[in-house]
Structure 1
Amino acid sequence: MNGWLLAAGVTALGVTAVHIVGGHRDVVRPLLSSGLADEPKRVLHAVWHMVTADLALSGLALLYLSLADGTPGAGLLAWFVAAHFTAYAAAFLAITLSVKWPRPLLRLPQWILLLPVAALAAAGAA
């Protein structure tokens, strides 16, 4: 068993839970009650659900990989998931830092949840 990938998978599923609960309250509800036109509103709602599925499937893949350590291709898939979470964190950081907010890193703190999954998955893939 690969403990790094196990930790990454558990963390990713925790991030999924935070996304579902916090994201529904702080993002989805305000989005759906906003005055935004219906088509972009529904597209953004669907994208939120796509991210939910993506986070959950990535977490499950990491759990599987933790048990399949040494299986051909397991390391490559773990690197892919690490890169994936790194890209998500980078997107949040880039958007957060492009806005002139006071203490911007705490206004959109999602990157804080995403980077540990990337680091743990990378450690397990190595």
Structure 2
Amino acid sequence: MNIWILSSGFLGIFTTLIHIFAGQIDPVKPFLQSDLKVVPKATLLACWHLVSATLLTSSLLLSYTGLYSVELLYLPAQLVGLLYVLFALVFFVVGWYFFGSKVFIKLPQWGLLLPVGLLANYGAM
């Protein structure tokens, strides 16, 4: 068992659940009720669920890799970890653009994404 990668996988699953359930309340529901045209609305909703699928699949990969210490999957685990670090960076940059130093409060998603990436990369070294 690789506790670092397993922890990143479990935190990733937790993050996925927050994305799927809490995300429906705050960003998705108001977005769907907006006056945006149907095609862009449908496209953005599909993108939202593409992210859900990515978060779930990558978290399951990390959990499996960590639980069984599958060294053959350490490189993919590192790549998934890098992806999560990049996700956190995107939230930070976009948040900084819109909110300046209030990014840490207005777009706190980075706070869940970054630890998943760091734990995965540490565990796969």
Whole-Å Cα distance in 2 between the matches of residues 104 and 93 of structure 1? 7
2:91 pairs with 1:85: no
Runs (5+) with no aligned partner, structure 2: none
User: What does 1:26-37 correspond to in 2, within 5 Å?
Assistant: 26-37=26-37
User: What does 1:103-114 correspond to in 2, within 5 Å?
Assistant: 103-114=102-113
Mark the CA change 1:100 to 1:110 in structure 2 (over 3 Å): closer, same or farther.
closer
Tell me which residue corresponds to 1:41.
Answer: 41
Tell me which residue corresponds to 1:10.
Answer: 10
Give the aligned CA root-mean-square deviation in angstroms.
1.3
Runs (5+) with no aligned partner, structure 1: none
Tell me which residue corresponds to 2:75.
Answer: 76
Tell me which residue corresponds to 2:67.
Answer: 67
The offset of 1:100, in angstroms, is 4.2
Whole-Å Cα distance in 1 between the matches of residues 95 and 120 of structure 2? 24
Mark the CA change 1:95 to 1:65 in structure 2 (over 3 Å): closer, same or farther.
same
Whole-Å Cα distance in 2 between the matches of residues 49 and 70 of structure 1? 29
| Large movers: runs of 4+ above 3 Å | none
Secondary structure in structure 1 of the residue aligned to 2:36: coil
Q: Per-residue CA shift, 1:20-72, capped at 9, x if unaligned? A: 11111011111110001111110010001110011010110001111342432
Task: State the aligned residue count.
Answer: 125
State the TM-score, normalized to the length of structure 1: 0.93
